[in-house]
Amino acid sequence: MKIKIIAVGKMKGPEQALVERYSKRLPWPLEIVEIDDRHRQSRNRQTDRETQSITAKLPRNGTLIALSERGKPLSSREFAKTIDRYQQDAHKELVFLIGGADGLGQALLARSDLELSFGLMTWPHMMARAMLVEQLYRAASILAGHPYHRD
């Protein structure tokens, strides 16, 4: 199974270091596709432009998981079980979508197989990317049977 993250914005700074740190530990191949967000427009136009850019990068048969503040919050163990279920069901590629400052457009949310939330707080989209890669690493560790500090 492959993992792809399609995210608005260019990583830099300490968040990039975290993404790189946890990416190296993943058992799955990881591809990160960055969508340019430098040309800010009105909120609706910006979200429409980002939606079009993300849609153009979607693989044909990927399983789409949208990060959204209105998504389903999962514990780390529940997230690991979800990843495991996708693996067991022979999903070839999981595609995580991270929108820009105004989130993902409705068209992408409607196409997604799962809407995932990191809680009720608002997170900068660069932090969300780092948190996602860390949670993927944590899920891999849980699935590999490594001791989990919450047990």
pLDDT digits (tens, 9 = 90+) for 82-121: 999 999 999 999 999 999 888 899 999 999 999 999 998 8
What pLDDT is attached to residue 47? 86
Residue 39's closest CA among 6, 5, 7, 9? 9
| DSSP assignment letter at 117 | E
b/e 36-50 (16+ beta carbons within 10 angstroms → b): ebeeeeeeeebbebb
Is the pLDDT at 54 greater than 90, yes or no? yes
Least reliable range by pLDDT among 1-10, 15-24, 47-56: 47-56
Q: Name the DSSP class of 120.
A: S
Distance CA(60)–CA(35), nearest Å, equals 18
Helix or strand or coil: residue 95?
strand
Q: Is the dihedral of CA 76, 23, 64, 101 positive or negative?
A: positive
All structural domains of the chain with their residue ranges: 2-143
Q: Which helix or strand (DSSP H or E) is residue 35 part of?
A: strand 30-35
What fold is seen in the domain 2-143?
Alpha/beta knot (3.40.1280)
Average pLDDT (55-73) is 94
pLDDT of residue 124: 84
Contact 35, 105 (CB under 8 A): no
